Amino acid sequence: MSHTLEELASYVGGKVEGDAACVIENVASLESAGSRQLSFYTGGKYKQALVSTKADAIIISEKHMSLSSANLIIVDNPLLAFALIAEKLNPSPIVSGIHPDASVDPTANIDASAYVGAQAVIAAGVQIKPGVVIDASCVIGQGCVIGENSRLHANVTLNDKTQIGKNVIIYSGAVIGSDGFGMANDEGRWVKIPQLGIVEIGDDVEIGANTTIDRGALDNTVIGNGVKLDNQIQIAHNVRIGEHTAIAGCVGIAGSTTIGRHCTIAGGVGITGQLEIADNVHITATSLVTQSISESGAYSSGTPLQENAKWQRNYVRFAQLDDMAKRLKRIETEFKDKQ
């Protein structure tokens, strides 16, 4: 699919500098772009790539436009405009119907515009709304609801009664609505606590490959509108994540924690259970969160990577901090008494 530069600029609310009739067929990086391709520039280390690129057009901000002699689309947010144009030039194919190898319970309600792929299993009482795509080998448990224009890539599992909103994307291997890790101890023997809640996924959510979201024990696990989850994230039972929060890969969130709106949680973060995290909190990579966070801002824990011998020396000193603090306090007291 191709569009003129003028058409693309209008689509993203930008203006053209150069040949508005230039035809663009696809997007590419600055380094690899060529004829009839468009790229973008946001500054920083790609300045030389911008100068040498063979792209026919660049999406760029006004403050950087003097750096390029190519045709330009000038916008305030080049990365956002690039994302919108890339999607426009590469639309998902429109498919519908039920593959003959799919297993569909007769009580399931599947809109005629939806698609169900080969070897998919659709259980009783499922509701699949218009424009939904369910790829091969997905398993949709009893009573699940999947909202308009959502897509489940191959091998996604939705356990019973999971609720999926509109325009949701779930990638392969994700498991939504499995039982939470709830146990009671009976004199050394673990007894399973029935998990009676469900998972509610809002609109415009993206869930990465092999991410797991557990159903609630009594109340529901809730993922708000616009939340973006990377690959291999564990979200335990009764967790609530506020709207438009983004969470990177390999994060683990323990049960009954509430995370606010517009938060960002970097890769490898661990968050213990029953915490409250405010809106607009940003947690850096591999941090361990063990206490609630009541104010917005950036938070970190842990120590950066060091040469091993230096780290070992610092570790020994860290273990001595309590004794050092007591000695310092004693010295301060003795000094004060002599004054």
In DSSP notation, 90-130 reads SPPPP--EE-TT-EE-TT-EE-TT-EE-TT-EE-TT-EE-T
Whole-number Å distance between alpha carbons of 277 and 265: 11
Does the structure show a pLDDT above 80 at 48?
A: yes
How far is it, in rounded angstroms, from Cα 212 to Cα 226?
18
CA distance 254 to 256: 7
- Determine the average pLDDT of the residues in 189-204: 96
In whole angstroms, give the CA distance from residue 215 to residue 198.
5
d(CA 271, CA 293): 11
Do the Cβ atoms of 165 and 146 come closer than 8 Å? no
Both tokens of 252, joined, read 């683990």
- The residue ranges of every structural domain in the chain are 3-89, 97-299, 308-338
The predicted model gives 189-199 an average pLDDT of 96
Q: Residue 70 to residues 1, 28, 30, 57, 309: CA-CA distances in angstroms?
A: 22, 15, 12, 6, 52
Q: What is the mean pLDDT of residues 106-130?
A: 98
pLDDT tens column, 68-90: 999 999 999 999 999 999 999 99
**248-274 per-residue burial string, b: 16 or more CB within 10 A, e: under 16:** bbbbebbbbbbbbbebbbbbbbbbeee
The whole-number pLDDT of residue 94 equals 86
Q: What is the pLDDT of residues 216-265, one digit of tens each?
A: 999 999 999 999 999 999 999 999 999 999 999 999 999 999 999 999 99
Is 97-299 the same fold as 3-89? no
pLDDT score for 115: 98
Q: What is the mean pLDDT of the chain?
A: 96
Q: Is the pTM value of this prediction over 0.85? A: yes
**73 neighbors 58 (Cβ within 8 angstroms):** yes
Residues 134-146 have a mean pLDDT of 98
Question: Which is the CATH superfamily of the domain at 97-299?
Answer: Hexapeptide repeat proteins (2.160.10.10)
335 or 229, which is more confident?
A: 229
Q: What CATH topology corresponds to 3-89? A: 3.40.1390
Single-letter code of the amino acid located at 325: A
Q: Is 282 a catalytic residue?
A: no
pLDDT in tens, 89-100: 999 888 999 999
CA–CA separation, 8 and 144 (whole Å): 38
Q: Are strands 252-253 and 270-271 parallel, antiparallel or unpaired?
A: parallel
Q: Which residue has the tokens 């998919």?
A: 120
Catalytic-labelled residue, pool 99, 237, 244, 262: 237
pLDDT mean over 146-162: 98
Give Cα separations from 149 to 46, 48, 119, 333 (angstroms). 36, 41, 21, 70
7 phi and psi angles, rounded to 5 deg = -65, -40
